[in-house]
């Protein structure tokens, strides 16, 4: 949902917002704030992935603003970058895995559209997770698939993320 009229990229990048907002085509976009389950899953996913960073050859980030294109700066809940991780303050390289954890106020049509576009702009995997049920789906260039057994496996990589184990760790 938009919250203001046209704003320059420079003004957006040099301002702080509480809560943080995304930027798209001159407009600030509110992010739906998560509840306890959302926050817990976000924290544990980042920790689980980060603890395996050396083994998986990745670095995990939470709520990292990413420059998808000149006028679009979305913020994934969690993202994983292949090493070497970007050094830019606002990376323009897309992550290997973009994770969106649903909030009660999210509209699925908006989440699916964002995931489709994130994949089109270069992130090979977008994982959408319901923090209350752990049901999830993976969006890729070949479409979408449900994640079986609440476990994400990234093909041709050592990355395997079993959500029940993530929450237990």
Q: Are 123 and 64 in contact (CB under 8 A)?
A: no
Q: Specify the residue for token string 């939470």.
A: 62
Give pLDDT, residue 5: 61
Four-residue CA torsion sign, 19, 24, 28, 32: negative
What are the pLDDT digits (tens) for 43-66?
999 999 999 999 999 999 999 999
pTM of this prediction? 0.93
Phi-psi region of 143 (alpha: psi -120 to 50; beta: other; left: phi over 0): left
**What are the start-end ranges of the H helices in 52-149?**
53-56, 108-120
**Domains of the chain (ranges, CATH numbers):** 32-168 (3.90.1570.10)
Condensed to tens digits (0 to 9), the pLDDT of residues 6-48 reads 899 999 999 999 889 999 999 999 988 779 999 999 999 999 9
Cis ω on the peptide bond leading into residue 40 (within 30° of 0)?
Answer: no
């Amino acid at each position: 949902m938009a919250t203001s009229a046209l704003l320059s990229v420079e003004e957006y990048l040099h301002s702080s917002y509480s809560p943080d907002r995304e930027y798209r085509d001159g407009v600030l976009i509110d992010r739906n704030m998560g509840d306890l389950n959302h926050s817990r899953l976000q924290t544990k996913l980042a920790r689980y992935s980060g603890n395996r960073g050396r083994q998986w050859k990745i670095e995990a980030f939470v709520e990292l603003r990413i420059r998808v294109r000149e006028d679009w700066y979305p913020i994934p809940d969690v993202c994983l970058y292949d090493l070497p991780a970007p050094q830019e303050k606002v990376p323009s390289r897309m992550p290997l895995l973009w994770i969106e954890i649903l909030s009660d106020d999210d509209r699925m049509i908006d989440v699916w559209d964002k995931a489709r576009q994130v994949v089109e702009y270069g992130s090979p995997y977008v994982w959408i997770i319901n923090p209350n049920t752990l049901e999830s789906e993976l969006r890729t260039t070949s479409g979408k698939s449900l994640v079986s057994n609440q476990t994400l496996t990234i093909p041709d990589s050592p990355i395997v993320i079993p959500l029940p184990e993530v929450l237990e760790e």
